[in-house]
Amino acid sequence: MELKLTPLFSAASIQQRVIELARRISDDFADRPLCLIAVLKGGVVFAADLMRELTIPVTLDFIRARSYDGANSTGQVKFTTMPTHPLAGQNILVVEDILDTGCTAVSIVERLRQENPASLAMCTLLDKPCRRKMPVNADYVGFTIDDLFVVGYGLDYEERGRELPDIHVLETRKA
Ligand code: IMP
Ligand code: MG
């Protein structure tokens, strides 16, 4: 299968938006220590860029949630990576690549709440609100998009395309 890609957001426009988000986050957490939790794998590129634009000290940790059956939407999520820092009393910012149905985000929030953080906020680079099945919204959103499947800047199609600097819309075509 050939990947047919159409440009959506350039690396430069992503960088500009990351700077804007980082400013807001730095202001909002100016007096509170912040723990970033990047959602593996897609959130790592965004988290790496975002943290370097923040003007406040942060810690970095990771979480990975895997759905047993994405198509089935049973809500069955397994955590294959968990943060190693103690999270009780911490201010957590979950850093996601994309909010789609919201199933993953809801599971992550529910799981992290069990650790009794002082606060829990969410930052997503991309948001597809038209696809939402679960009542969840991010506190910080890079770009809101329509019902498109996108790759690049950490986002993949079957593990392909994560390394691309720009974000593209994917059309699947038989080669
Ligand atoms: P959810 O449907 O909100 O639970 O999203 C689950 C995961 O699906 C996201 O974290 C992404 O890894 C993946 N995903 C959703 N939409 C896209 C897309 O357009 N491109 C690449 N991955 C996506
Ligand atoms: Mg994926």
Helix H or strand E encompassing 61? strand 58-67
- From first CA to last CA, the distance across the chain in angstroms is 5
Cα–Cα dist 28/39, whole Å: 21
Ligand 2 center to 113 CA (angstroms): 24
Q: How do residues 157-175 score in pLDDT, each as one tens digit?
A: 999 999 999 999 999 765 5
Average pLDDT of 37-62? 98
Phi, psi torsion values for 3, nearest 5 degrees: -95, 120
Q: How many residues does the structure list for the chain?
A: 175
Among 66, 100, 108, 111, which residue has the most ligand 1 atoms within 8 Å of its CB, making it the best to mutate?
A: 100
Q: Which atom of ligand 1 is found nearest the CA of 97?
A: 10
The model's confidence at residue 70, banded by pLDDT at 50, 70 and 90, is very low
When pLDDT is cut at 50, 70 and 90, the band that residue 2 belongs to is confident
* Rounded CA separation 58/52 (Å): 10
Which of 128, 150, 155 best tests ligand 1's pocket when mutated (most atoms within 8 Å of CB)? 155
Q: How far apart are alpha carbons 167 and 170 in whole angstroms?
A: 9
**Statement: residue 108 has pLDDT above 90:** yes
pTM summary value = 0.94
State how far the alpha carbon of 158 is from the alpha carbons of 71, 107, 128, 155, in Å: 14, 22, 19, 10
State the Cα–Cα distance between residues 117 and 87, nearest whole angstrom: 6
> What average pLDDT does this structure show over 81-105?
97
Distance 159 CA to ligand 2 centre (A): 7
Element (H, E) at 47: helix 43-53
3-state secondary structure of 59: strand
Q: Encode pLDDT of 85-95 as tens digits.
A: 899 999 999 99
Q: What span, in angstroms and rounded, lies between the C-alpha atoms of 97 and 32?
A: 24
